[in-house]
Amino acid sequence: VMEYKKMNIVFKAEKFATRKHAEINHVRKYTGEPYINHPKEVVEIIKTVDHTDEMLAAAWLHDTVEDT
């Protein structure tokens, strides 16, 4: 088991965003799918270009503050 403080920033961001969106049962307005699928799609787009871990973490978290 990996210690939390040693976990990669991207993994931490993914877990945090997933938990926060799930806590409020956040779903997409028109499809009803779990909202976390949207940040996941953004992460996949970012991965197609030159990127840093911080950019991937930002992609996971980009709606967390305003929506949860």
13 — phi, psi (to 5°)? -65, -45
The rounded percent of the chain whose pLDDT value lies above 90 is 79
- For residues 24 and 14, give the distance between their C-alpha atoms in angstroms, rounded to a whole number: 16
Give the pLDDT confidence score for residue 65 in this predicted structure: 87
Give the pLDDT confidence score for residue 66 in this predicted structure: 86
Q: 35-53 in b/e burial notation, b at 16+ Cβ within 10 A?
A: bbebbeebbeebeeeeeee
Reading the chain (68 residues) residue by residue, the pLDDT tens digits are: 456 566 799 999 999 999 999 999 999 989 999 999 999 999 999 999 999 999 999 999 999 988 87
Beta strands in the chain (DSSP E): none
Give the pLDDT confidence score for residue 68 in this predicted structure: 77
